[in-house]
């Protein structure tokens, strides 16, 4: 048995086989081959495997996100069969006597360039698709999978680090736990692990990465941050016991379903859930959340190989609203940039991405992207109780620009005779110290505030949330952060707005009483924490 330790970001226990996450090699080498026929046979097998993968992804997407969003994978399957594309690859293999990986990569570059130079926007967008399918074929040629495809067994995913886009693409039904060598506990990957209700440990170190091998048996303790490779009988029995105790605790919490979020002295609060995709709605309903307090809409962009269209977004938002059957759903507009990078946005590399071109800054600079999202949101608003919130606000002027665009979009829809709700609430995230400090000026312009404590903490304490080295300096209960939240709450209420908290701190039950005393109206947490927070609220007595 070898023991490693990192930081547990979701308290739960898992035991099972390890699958080491392999990242696709982006650099393809040119190799000379003597037998070009054998190389073409390898290519044919890889194309067949890639098509089978796409069919599986298409079926899954169809079930989870609907036909409009799944369609792209059908297009990818058609592209793999395209005659021009295939003739180009085969002719490179034949004429240059090179390996299939190189021929695919060269064809991808040529085709992508050709698509990108076309006038038609639809054809331009195919540039990213041809790269995507080519990468898939190359991965199949190298016999690499980015996840646990091929086996139905649930596994513990071990990796150096995982980007949010890689995490969303993992088959969640097959993941028992995450362990990464690097990463920090407030990163989006950690947040996703919490959303998925599975134990997760980050920062297990490079020695761990060197020791862990595919197929090993491991036990993961998300409470203590320990990972045991090939655990001995005693450790295995101890963790199995802990897992059983967890299940019992969960069962007890289930009894709180249907109960009110009310303190012993009668103060009520709303407890909503945070989601990152349409497929998380099941967990929201299963955990009896009162609504959705944060839908991180950027995950629609991360999951896609091109800008999601108005129709695709509309379908996703409508599905969330309809599934929540009249309960409030707050959708946050695009928050891309910093750690959430999407290739097709073509964002420049930045020295300080957290302080860079992200979120609302992109939306205000590239309003066509923003307008598409707002049109989809307003169209969907006819199907439920929608709130829209805007991330990374620092000034009154940003909010004024946003509201002007919102009004234009609404005017357009009215002129086109498209129905939308006139009760959509507009709010902003309070996640920069600037927004909290001028919250008295911002509050009159909105219906609600939602405090993003993850970013508010990084900007207030000047600690990059992605940087594990500064994690020891992050005091999540720092007085400066609590004062900024309290100040925002006072200012919201003074101007008739309500205030919620949707950062990870909302689930910290050692602060539940503090938040209640500040008059926070709503706490929005990962679905799996809803009942735990309800339990904390019901044990609180504010009369003392």
- Active-site residues: which are they? 188, 502
Q: Can you tell me the distance from the alpha carbon of 425 to that of 497, in angstroms, rounded to the nearest whole number?
A: 10
**Residue number with CB closer to ligand PEP (303 or 431):** 431
**Residue number with CB closer to ligand PEP (398 or 431):** 431
Q: What is the smallest separation between the CB atom of 6 and ligand PEP, expressed in angstroms?
A: 21
Q: Does 540 interact with ligand PEP (rule: CB under 6 A)?
A: no
Stretch that binds Mg ion, among 103-111, 299-307, 420-428, 429-437 (CB under 5 A): 429-437
Q: What is the smallest separation between the CB atom of 125 and ligand PEP, expressed in angstroms?
A: 26
Q: Hey, how many other C-beta atoms are within 10 angstroms of the C-beta on 475?
A: 12
Helix (H, G, I), strand (E, B) or coil at 268: strand
Stretch that binds ligand PEP, among 84-92, 120-128, 368-376, 450-458 (CB under 6 A): 450-458
Q: What is the smallest separation between the CB atom of 335 and Mg ion, expressed in angstroms?
A: 6
Do the Cβ atoms of 230 and 217 come closer than 8 Å?
yes
List beta partners, residue 107: none
Q: What is the smallest separation between the CB atom of 453 and ligand PEP, expressed in angstroms?
A: 5
Helices (H), 341-478: 360-365, 367-380, 396-415, 433-437, 439-442, 453-461
Q: What is the 3-state secondary structure (H, E, C) of 41-55?
A: HHHHHHHHHHHHHHH
502 binds, among Mg ion, ligand PEP, none (CB under 5 to 8 A by kind): ligand PEP
Stretch that binds ligand PEP, among 58-66, 200-208, 211-219, 451-459 (CB under 6 A): 451-459
**Residue number with CB closer to ligand PEP (191 or 220):** 191
The Cα-based distances of 81 to 78, 86, 93, 102, 386 in angstroms read: 5, 7, 17, 18, 42
Binders of ligand PEP among residues 172 to 231 (CB under 6 A) are none
Q: What is the smallest separation between the CB atom of 502 and ligand PEP, expressed in angstroms?
A: 5
Q: Does 385 interact with ligand PEP (rule: CB under 6 A)?
A: no
Q: What is the smallest separation between the CB atom of 453 and Mg ion, expressed in angstroms?
A: 9
Q: Does 504 interact with Mg ion (rule: CB under 5 A)?
A: no
Exposed / middle / buried, residue 349 (Cβ in 10 Å: 0-12, 13-18, 19+): exposed
Binders of ligand PEP among residues 413 to 432 (CB under 6 A) are 431
What is the DSSP pairing of strand 200-202 with strand 498-501?
Answer: unpaired
Q: Can you tell me the distance from the alpha carbon of 404 to that of 478, in angstroms, rounded to the nearest whole number?
A: 36
Q: Does 503 interact with ligand PEP (rule: CB under 6 A)?
A: yes
**Residue number with CB closer to ligand PEP (53 or 453):** 453
Residue 57 neighbours by CB under 8 Å, 6+ apart: 73
Residue 380 neighbours by CB under 8 Å, 6+ apart: 314, 317, 318, 321, 386
Question: Pick from 335, 447, 508, 522: which binds ligand PEP (CB under 6 A)?
Answer: 335
Total residues in contact with ligand PEP, by rule CB under 6 A: 10
Do the Cβ atoms of 380 and 386 come closer than 8 Å?
yes
Stretch that binds ligand PEP, among 47-55, 63-71, 375-383, 448-456 (CB under 6 A): 448-456
- Tokens standing for 482? 């609590």
Diameter over CA atoms, the chain: 84
Q: Does 296 interact with ligand PEP (rule: CB under 6 A)?
A: yes
Question: Where on the chain is the footprint of ligand PEP (CB under 6 A)?
Answer: 294, 296, 335, 431, 452-455, 502-503
Question: Where on the chain is the footprint of Mg ion (CB under 5 A)?
Answer: 431, 452, 455
């Amino acid at each position: 048995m070898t023991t490693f330790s990192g930081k547990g970001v979701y308290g739960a226990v898992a035991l099972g086989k390890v699958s080491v996450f392999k990242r696709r090699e982006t650099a393809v080498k040119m190799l000379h081959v003597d037998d070009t026929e054998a190389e073409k046979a390898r290519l044919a097998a890889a194309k067949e495997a890639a098509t089978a993968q796409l069919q599986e992804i298409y079926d899954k997407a169809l079930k989870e996100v609907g036909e409009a969003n799944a369609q792209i994978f059908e297009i990818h399957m058609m592209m793999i069969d395209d005659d021009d594309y295939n003739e180009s690859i085969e002719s490179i293999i034949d004429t240059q006597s090179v390996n299939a990986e190189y021929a695919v990569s060269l064809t991808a570059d040529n085709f992508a360039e050709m698509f990108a130079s076309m006038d038609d926007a639809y054809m331009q967008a195919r540039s990213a698709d041809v790269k995507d399918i080519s990468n898939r074929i190359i991965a199949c040629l190298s016999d690499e999978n980015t996840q646990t495809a091929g086996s139905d067994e649930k596994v513990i995913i071990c990796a150096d680090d995982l980007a949010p886009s890689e995490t969303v693409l993992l088959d969640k039904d097959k993941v028992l736990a995450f362990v990464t060598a690097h990463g920090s506990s407030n990163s989006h990957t950690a947040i996703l692990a919490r959303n998925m209700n599975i134990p997760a440990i980050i920062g297990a170190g490079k020695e761990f990465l060197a020791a862990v091998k595919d197929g090993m048996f491991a036990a993961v303790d998300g409470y203590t941050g320990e990972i045991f490779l090939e655990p001995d009988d005693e450790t295995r029995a101890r963790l199995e016991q802990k897992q059983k105790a967890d299940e019992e605790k969960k069962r007890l919490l289930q009894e709180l379903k249907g109960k009110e979020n009310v303190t012993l002295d009668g103060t009520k609060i709303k407890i909503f859930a945070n989601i990152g995709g349409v497929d998380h709605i099941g967990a929201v309903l299963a955990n009896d959340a009162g609504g959705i307090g944060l839908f991180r809409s950027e995950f629609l962009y991360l999951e896609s190989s091109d800008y999601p269209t108005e129709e695709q977004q509309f379908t996703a938002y409508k599905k969330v609203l309809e599934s929540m059957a009249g309960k409030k759903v707050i959708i946050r507009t695009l928050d891309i940039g910093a750690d959430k990078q999407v290739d097709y946005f073509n964002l420049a590399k930045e020295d300080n991405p957290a302080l860079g071109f992200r979120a609302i800054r992109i939306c205000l600079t590239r309003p066509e992207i923003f307008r598409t999202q707002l049109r989809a949101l307003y169209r969907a608003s006819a199907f439920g109780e929608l709130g829209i919130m805007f991330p990374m606000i620092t000034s009154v002027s940003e909010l004024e620009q946003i509201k002007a665009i919102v009004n234009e979009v609404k005017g357009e829809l009215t002129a086109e005779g498209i129905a939308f709700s006139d009760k959509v609430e507009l709010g902003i995230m309070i996640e920069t110290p600037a927004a909290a400090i001028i919250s008295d000026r911002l509050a009159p312009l909105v219906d609600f505030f939602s405090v993003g404590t993850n970013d508010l903490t990084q900007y207030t304490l000047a600690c990059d949330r992605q940087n594990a080295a500064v994690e020891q300096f992050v005091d999540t209960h720092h007085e400066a952060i609590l004062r900024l939240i309290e100040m925002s709450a006072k200012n919201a209420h003074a101007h008739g707005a309500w205030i919620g908290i949707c950062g990870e701190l909302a689930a910290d039950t050692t602060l539940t009483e503090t938040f209640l005393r500040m008059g926070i109206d709503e706490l929005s947490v990962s679905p799996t924490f809803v009942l735990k927070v309800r339990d904390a609220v019901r044990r609180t007595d504010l009369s003392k």
